[in-house]
């Protein structure tokens, strides 16, 4: 994208920590002007807008829409607000990049998807690990038939912040405690990072989930499983068996008890002509392949990969052209359907459910 491209006037909805990631990314893209911020919390709004040089500030989305001098929106509100706020923005004719998950249930996600399509607007989801270049390359290799027909996969998202304080002390800091409590809006590790590893696996394998079985686990972590106002009842680990629409069978899992792993994603893809191993560990990307003559001796070869455009760059380009990029609302809705099914499966003792 060049500086001669049409300008995009961007509004930031929600000004918490993740909004700063959005703003920093958009600020680096030529031709993007962050024209307004919206937040019901005046102190957060003022600090955010001052730090990023944003002139217009609104306490409500309704006020911002009535003003209207913006083209596109980064929706960085809490999960439960994604659906009602995005619906308002689409009704107002604005393109939207929504933080993950698209909604808290598949019905709302589908409604958002249908409205964006009906209004011919760009609707994209910020699944940040799509920016991992080795994942993009793995998806390309699978699509090209490099490893043959997909047969099996293994995917895991490994965190350990319940076993060490590298990111802060979860026993005393509400920024972590809310993630452990359903009463405070958390859907546990399934809703928090499960959506990322589910996307990681299905995107690379080139196929959505057709059928799944899931088990969730919440471990005892404090006396009476409560710390102050926080009841610690959200799931800490999950394991999921899935068959994809292309027939591949595999497992997807995530946990906050993976000691020795701060924030690592792993994916293994096996076809009838070869295998791929994808990793994003300690922020280092890795991709290797075994195929052809190397199969006999199980020799793996590293693949060098060039950087790919970020989701923020893709959204800006989509807002300029009107051609929606990936991951779009349709994909976000499919992921939410799988997450809903995973919760239902656990409630039914791990019963396999068709999507």
How do the domains of the chain map onto residue ranges?
8-129, 132-312+336-354
Residues contacting residue 332 through CB under 8 Å, at least 6 positions apart: 98, 100, 101, 102, 103, 109, 113, 125, 127
Residue 37 Cα distances to 7, 310, 332, angstroms: 18, 22, 25
CATH class of the region 132-312+336-354: alpha beta
Q: What is the number of H-type helices and E-type strands within the chain?
A: 12, 17
Locate 119 and state its tokens.
């209004």
* Four-point Cα dihedral 167, 215, 129, 40, nearest 10: -60
DSSP code per residue over 82-94:
HHHHHHHHHHTT-
**Helix (H), strand (E) at residue 204:** helix 195-205
Task: Note whether 259 and 164 are within 8 A (CB).
Answer: yes
Q: What is the pLDDT of residue 62?
A: 98
Q: What is the pLDDT of residue 127?
A: 94
Locate 74 and state its tokens.
């980064």
Q: What is the pLDDT of residue 4?
A: 66
Mean pLDDT of the chain: 95
Residue 5 has pLDDT above 90, yes or no: no
Task: Note whether 191 and 79 are within 8 A (CB).
Answer: yes
Hey, do 8-129 and 132-312+336-354 end up sharing a CATH topology, with the first three levels equal?
no
Share of the chain above pLDDT 90, in %: 93
pLDDT in tens, 290-323: 999 999 999 999 999 999 999 999 999 999 999 9
Task: Note whether 271 and 261 are within 8 A (CB).
Answer: no
Locate 191 and state its tokens.
């809703």
Q: What is the pLDDT of residue 2?
A: 45
- 8-129: CATH topology: Rossmann fold (3.40.50)
Task: Note whether 36 and 70 are within 8 A (CB).
Answer: yes
pLDDT in tens, 218-265: 999 999 999 999 999 999 999 999 999 999 999 999 999 999 999 999
Task: Note whether 82 and 124 are within 8 A (CB).
Answer: no
Mean pLDDT along residues 321-338: 95
Residues contacting residue 27 through CB under 8 Å, at least 6 positions apart: 34, 52
Locate 244 and state its tokens.
């994809």
Burial of 44 (0-12, 13-18, 19+ CB in 10 A): middle
Task: Note whether 169 and 285 are within 8 A (CB).
Answer: no
Q: What is the gyration radius of the CA atoms in the chain, in angstroms?
A: 21
pLDDT in tens, 11-27: 999 999 999 999 999 99
Q: What is the pLDDT of residue 182?
A: 93
pLDDT in tens, 134-148: 999 999 999 999 999
Mean pLDDT along residues 140-162: 98
Q: What angle do CA 218, 224, 230 make, to 5 degrees?
A: 75
User: Which pTM was predicted?
Assistant: 0.92
pLDDT in tens, 167-192: 899 998 888 898 999 998 889 999 99
Q: What is the pLDDT of residue 128?
A: 87
């Amino acid at each position: 994208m060049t500086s001669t491209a049409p300008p995009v006037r961007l509004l930031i909805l929600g000004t918490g920590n993740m909004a700063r990631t959005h703003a920093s990314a958009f600020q680096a893209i030529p031709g993007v002007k962050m024209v307004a911020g919206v937040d019901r919390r005046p102190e957060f709004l003022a600090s955010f807008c001052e730090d990023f040089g944003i002139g217009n500030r609104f306490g409500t989305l309704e006020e911002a829409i009535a003003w209207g001098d913006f083209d596109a929106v980064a929706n960085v509100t809490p999960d439960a607000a994604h659906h009602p706020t995005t619906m308002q923005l689409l009704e107002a004719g604005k393109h939207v990049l929504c933080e993950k998950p698209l909604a808290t249930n598949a019905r709302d996600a589908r409604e958002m998807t249908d409205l964006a399509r009906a209004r011919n607007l760009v609707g994209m989801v910020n699944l940040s690990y799509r920016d991992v270049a080795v994942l993009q390359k793995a998806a390309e290799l699978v699509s090209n038939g490099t490893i043959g027909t997909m047969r099996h996969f293994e995917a895991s998202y490994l965190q350990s912040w319940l076993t060490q304080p590298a990111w802060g002390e979860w026993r005393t800091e509400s920024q972590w405690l809310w993630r452990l409590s359903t009463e405070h809006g958390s859907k546990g590790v399934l809703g928090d990072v499960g959506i990322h590893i589910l996307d990681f696996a299905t995107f690379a394998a080139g196929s959505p989930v057709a059928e799944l079985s899931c088990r969730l686990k919440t471990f005892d972590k404090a006396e009476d499983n409560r710390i102050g106002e926080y009841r610690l009842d959200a799931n800490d680990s999950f394991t999921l068996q899935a068959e994809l629409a292309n027939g591949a069978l595999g497992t997807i899992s995530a946990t906050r008890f993976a000691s020795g792993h701060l924030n690592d994603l792993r994916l293994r893809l096996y076809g009838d002509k070869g295998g791929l191993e994808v990793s994003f560990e300690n922020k280092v990307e890795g991709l290797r392949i075994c195929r052809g003559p190397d199969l006999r001796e199980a020799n793996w070869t590293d693949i060098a990969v060039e950087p790919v455009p970020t989701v923020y760059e893709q959204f800006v380009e989509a807002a300029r052209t009107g051609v929606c990029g990936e991951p779009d609302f349709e994909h976000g809705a499919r992921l939410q359907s799988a997450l809903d099914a995973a919760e239902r499966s656990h409630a039914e003792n791990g019963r396999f459910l068709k999507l």
